[in-house]
Amino acid sequence: MHEALRRLPARRAPASLEARVLREIERRAALPRWRSGIAQWPAAVRVALIGACAACGPLAWVLGRSLWTHLAAALAAPGVAPWITDAHNTGRTLLSLAELAVHLVRLIPHEWLFGGLIVTGAVYAALAAMGYLLLHPTLPHSKAHQV
């Protein structure tokens, strides 16, 4: 295969390619410094950016610890525990309802489910076709878009 590919003639670039590449190089050179790539920024600005990025990690860790401490204190406050219990009970109720729905769906025969899907798809396709035929403005018999 390598030999067969080697015997193929070399492909030529379009004649306009060189002009397009040169235009793009000129366009990028004319961009303001802040819009050019980071490699074109002054060294001092790049070093400052790297330092700021390096400082963000520990800062995020300290802020996360502080937030976690405040959240733990807020959850331990009186009056919050009943709210958490209610939310937990609501979640358990919703989970029970979902399990009931799954159980009921499993009781339906597969033929009914697939038949229902096929009928639903057919009705949808028929309605979409009717809507297209009635509302499409380029069809000669359509009067929906004529004023």
Residue 28 lies in a domain: yes
Q: Is the dihedral of CA 83, 89, 95, 98 positive or negative?
A: negative
Domain that holds residue 35: 15-77
Residues 100 and 147 both lie in one domain: yes
> How many domains is the chain built from?
2
* Confidence (pLDDT) at 86: 85
Distance (Å, rounded) from C-alpha 43 to C-alpha 59?
24
* Confidence (pLDDT) at 147: 46
* Confidence (pLDDT) at 28: 84
Residue 5 lies in a domain: no
- Tokens representing 146 are 């004529």
Question: What is the CA angle 82-86-89, rounded to 5?
Answer: 135
Residue 41 lies in a domain: yes
- The mean pLDDT of 7-31, rounded to a whole number, is 88
Residue 113 lies in a domain: yes
Distance (Å, rounded) from C-alpha 14 to C-alpha 1?
27
Q: How many CA atoms lie within 13 A of 40 on its CB side?
A: 10
Residue 144 lies in a domain: yes
Question: What is the CA angle 37-43-46, rounded to 5?
Answer: 60
Residue 88 lies in a domain: no
Residues 73 and 99 both lie in one domain: no
Instruction: Yes or no: say if 142 and 136 are a contact pair by the CB < 8 Å rule.
Output: yes
Residues 98 and 61 both lie in one domain: no
Decide which of 77, 102, 131 is a domain's last residue: 77
Residues 106 and 63 both lie in one domain: no
Residues 106 and 147 both lie in one domain: yes
* Confidence (pLDDT) at 143: 52
Q: Per residue in 92-144, pLDDT tens? A: 999 999 999 999 988 988 899 899 999 999 999 999 998 888 877 665 554 55
Residues 71 and 104 both lie in one domain: no
Question: What is the CA angle 115-121-126, rounded to 5?
Answer: 125
Residues 47 and 19 both lie in one domain: yes
Q: Per residue in 24-33, pLDDT tens? A: 999 888 887 7
Residue 116 lies in a domain: yes
Q: How many CA atoms lie within 13 A of 34 on its CB side?
A: 0
Residue 125 lies in a domain: yes
**How far from 52 is each of 46, 59, 66, CA to CA, in Å?**
10, 10, 21
